[in-house]
Amino acid sequence: MSQPKRIHALDIPVPARSELDPDTQAYFAKCDEKIGFVPNVLLSYSFDAKKLRGFTEMYNELMLAPSGLSKLEREMIAVAVSSINHCFYCLTAHGAAVRQLSGDPKLGELMVMNWRSAELSDKMKAALEFAAKLTESPDKIVEADRAALRKAGWSDRDIWDIAATASFFNMSNRMAAAIEMMPNEEYHGMAR
């Protein structure tokens, strides 16, 4: 359960586990059990149980709930968006997830450095191009962008999930940048 000495740049202390409400303590215990540590993004939100709950409910719904997108595809969207935003926290954490889910350390690194260099299906490339445009110039999204996704094989429900995942990580990247959130050390060695 190691964490860096500094989780973020704000003077908002991370509460001791014993000070957290029972639901948060149980959630953190589940993190310890499943991945061996509590991600610093969760620790950063832990000063306010309501904000933490809102963040985790949205994350879990987007990344773990049934979808036409696989868990790996959603993680790849997170990494592509985070790469554009230069989000150290999310590139480290979600790059590790891509390595782990794909079983391919090279893919995880390509996604972090330049996802356009990775060998991806045309369908996945279309999703990532859409997520990139939504990140860089959301005011320029037009029907032709949605039509390109449909032509690549994504359903309208999938388009919603692609957009929701990209949007969530744009928000998360901005919060991480604003408070200079640092990733857990464990992420750096995962699935290498």
Q: Are residues 76 and 57 in the same domain?
A: no
CATH number at residue 60: 1.20.5.810
C-beta atoms surrounding 184 within 10 Å: 24
Q: Is 47 exposed, middle or buried (0-12, 13-18, 19+ CB in 10 A)?
A: middle
Q: Is residue 5 part of a domain?
A: no
Nearest to 27 by CA among 60, 74, 3: 60
pLDDT at 192: 85
Query: Tens of pLDDT along the chain (192 residues)?
Result: 444 468 999 998 899 999 999 999 999 999 999 999 999 999 999 999 999 999 999 999 999 999 999 999 999 999 999 999 999 999 999 999 999 999 999 999 999 999 999 999 999 999 999 999 999 999 999 999 999 999 999 999 999 999 999 999 999 999 999 999 999 999 999 988
Tokens 């060695």 correspond to: 189
Residues 181, 144: one domain?
Answer: yes
Number of structural domains the chain divides into = 2
pTM, rounded to two decimals: 0.94
- Residue-level pLDDT at 87: 98
Q: How far apart are CA 84 and CA 152, in angstroms?
A: 23
